[in-house]
Each structure stands twice: as structure tokens, then as C-alpha cells.
Structure 1
């Protein structure tokens, strides 16, 4: 049987390039094989099996065995691919079809080129990442008493601790580690501040704002998250290509202007003196 080229069943998707196609086709083949195993054997119209591509002495290409060996006098074919530490090569996928459950099985056909194990697993995309229940960022104010003073530092900070989440994609369990890496504060008076520091409390504070005019306002904090994920059964952690955002807003508070003046008596006296 002649060896099919990786682009034989590519169609218009072949414009993406041979390397990109091989990885995409392998993932699709793996997903189809997993779905096929959910059907009773007697009802299946497809059989899937990973086996090597072998070349006989006469130059004829043939399918090897699922244990990774080739028939006698045939050699293993294919280019050795370097995989990440802890990962391993996966053999090409072959498919056998029949028109109906009562029909005879057709010949085996190679439908992907195999590759590194992690490359055959589903990819957690930016869109998937943004659907996860990431927590709203913690927002701490100093002072936190319902009012602040103009021209005095209003200190803000948040919690930079990563969070671990569990999700599922195409039947695979996935662990996601999300880390907030950038924070943007909207102070409600037309001023914003973007920083990679989570902030610190007084007197080591490094993220703050000084209001210029009295009034009532809120502070809105937007956290930008990056992430990585690990699929159950794989030792490899992969970075998520993209970010997600979560937002929280403080309760309303007043910005006040206080002035000092001399008084005849203590303002703590009762009754309070009229000049206080």
C-alpha cells in the first residue's frame, strides 16, 4: 500500500503549512478515536489504531503493529522528532472503515503522522481561559473608613496569589494555574494607574493616588491574568496563549477637604463648642 502524504486529505486547510497540519490532524484523529470508543464494537463504522509506518525491502509502504514493530524484512520509517523533557513520541494513527455495521472492513489508511504526545492533546485557548470562574481581585484601601482627604495619599493594594482551577476539554481533565500579573486602577476622578506591583500597606506603600477635589467616588480595579495548564496524564505544563480579566469596585466613599483652625476650647468637649 502506498504511503499517504500528510497533505492528501488536507483540502483547503493545507495552506496552513505541513507542520501545522500534522499537529492539527493528529489532534482531530485522537479526538475521533476517543469518540469512536464510546460506541459498541458491533455498531462502529470506524476502527482506529496507532501503529508505525514501515517500508519493505521493495520500497512498498505498509502498516506496522500496534506494539510499534514492523513486519519481518521491513524497516521503521519516519523522521525522529525531538519532544519536550518528560514527553514521548506517539505513533501515526490508522483508520479502517466500513459502510454499514454488517459490511466488511476496508483496508487500513494512515490519517495522521503521529508526533509528540502533548501535541496530540487538546489546546486550552484564550477563549476557554476567559470562560473559567476566575475570582474578582481583592481591593484594599488605606484609609478604609468611608472617607479620604484631598492631597493626601489614598493607598491601594491587592492579592497577587495564583489560583488553581479544574476544568474539562474534549473529555480530558485539565488543571489550570492562573496568576494575576497586571492591575489597572480607575480612581473615579478621571485618573487611572496601571502597575505590575500588587501594592503594599503603609508605610511601605508603592501604589497610591492623591485626590484633588472633594466629592463622592469609587475605585475600580481590573486584574489581568496569565495562565498555564496541565492535562491529566501528561507531565507537561503549557502556557495559555492569551490573558483574561476580572474586575471589582469598591463601595462609594467621600473625598473630603479638612482645614485646621484655632479654637478656644477642645472640640472633644461635650457639648461641642460652637467654634468647632
Structure 2
């Protein structure tokens, strides 16, 4: 069953970044995503199989080598569920969030079962540029 489920195109998560496409170094950048839904009925070996994927883990890749994992999708500002501070200015990073799905299935209307392994899909990379704020004295 695992091999058949792996052939199904599981959804990829897109990032929400605040601020959106540029951020300042040494300040929190907020990340979140909408949990991708997967609910499909397919035919496997002549049997109708209802397959459901539930997001159970999110692995955040910030594009500068740092990662973190959560069990939730984060929330937009002012929530600070998933944040990252970049250290170097004038860089373009490609952050993404990978989603791990727990898979449940039911064959021909029978009882729902859970697949023994999870399946992870790589997220869609975004572009994020880091900048440094420069103080200016005024009269």
C-alpha cells in the first residue's frame, strides 16, 4: 500500500513570510503555512481506496542552513509560532516548509486504517532578501 500511496501527488505547502519578500537582519521574521489537505479516492488493484493525508509535522528550512521542526503550521503575525533571525545582510535565501503526512485509508468502504509510515513532501521555495537597517541622525 505504501508504494501505491507514494505514487499519488501529495500537495506541497507554500510559505507565508512576514515581512513578505525582504527582511532585516537580527530581527524576527515570521513564517507560517496553510496545512495542505489531501483527500482522494483511487483504484488500487481493482479496489476503491479512500486515502486521507493529515499534516503531522512541518520542517522549516530557512535557506541559510538553519532548520526547525514543528507539529503546527505556524500563524501569521502577531503570533510568533515560527520565527527565524537572519544574521547576514544582502543575501537572497530560498526558505521552504516540508510537510510530513500521516496517511489513513479505507478499502471499499471498510474500516479506516493508518499506514505504518509517514510521507514527506518538499515545500515550494520562496525568495527572501535580507537587508541591514542603517540609522540616520536628523535635526
Asked if residue 253 in structure 1 is aligned to residue 136 in structure 2, the reply is no
Residues 1:233 and 1:250: Cα distance change in structure 2 (over 3 Å): closer
Partner of 1:260, secondary structure, is coil
Q: Aligned residue for 2:18?
A: 142
Q: Aligned residue for 1:186?
A: 61
CA contact (8 A) 1:138 1:248 kept: yes
Structure with the larger strand share:
2
Q: Aligned residue for 2:100?
A: 224
Contiguous gaps of at least 5 residues in structure 2 = none
Asked if residue 209 in structure 1 is aligned to residue 95 in structure 2, the reply is no
CA drift at 1:232: 1.9
Asked if residue 132 in structure 1 is aligned to residue 16 in structure 2, the reply is no
Length, aligned pairs only = 138
TM-score normalised according to structure 2 size: 0.91
Contiguous gaps of at least 5 residues in structure 1 = 1-124, 265-276
Structure scoring higher RCO (CA < 8 A, sep ≥ 6) equals 2
CA drift at 1:208: 0.8
| Larger gyration radius, structure 1 or structure 2 | 1
Partner of 1:248, secondary structure, is coil
Cα separation, 2, equivalents of 1:223 and 1:187: 14
TM-score normalised according to structure 1 size: 0.48
Cα separation, 1, equivalents of 2:34 and 2:54: 10
Residues 1:135 and 1:239: Cα distance change in structure 2 (over 3 Å): same
- What are the equivalent positions in structure 2 for 1:33-72 lying under 5 Å apart? none
Q: Runs (4+) of structure 1 moved beyond 3 Å?
A: none
Partner of 1:128, secondary structure, is helix
The structure 2 residue matched to 1:200, chosen from 70, 75, 80, is 75
The structure 2 residue matched to 1:241, chosen from 106, 116, 121, is 116
Cα separation, 2, equivalents of 1:255 and 1:209: 12
CA contact (8 A) 1:186 1:219 kept: yes
Structure with the larger helix share:
1
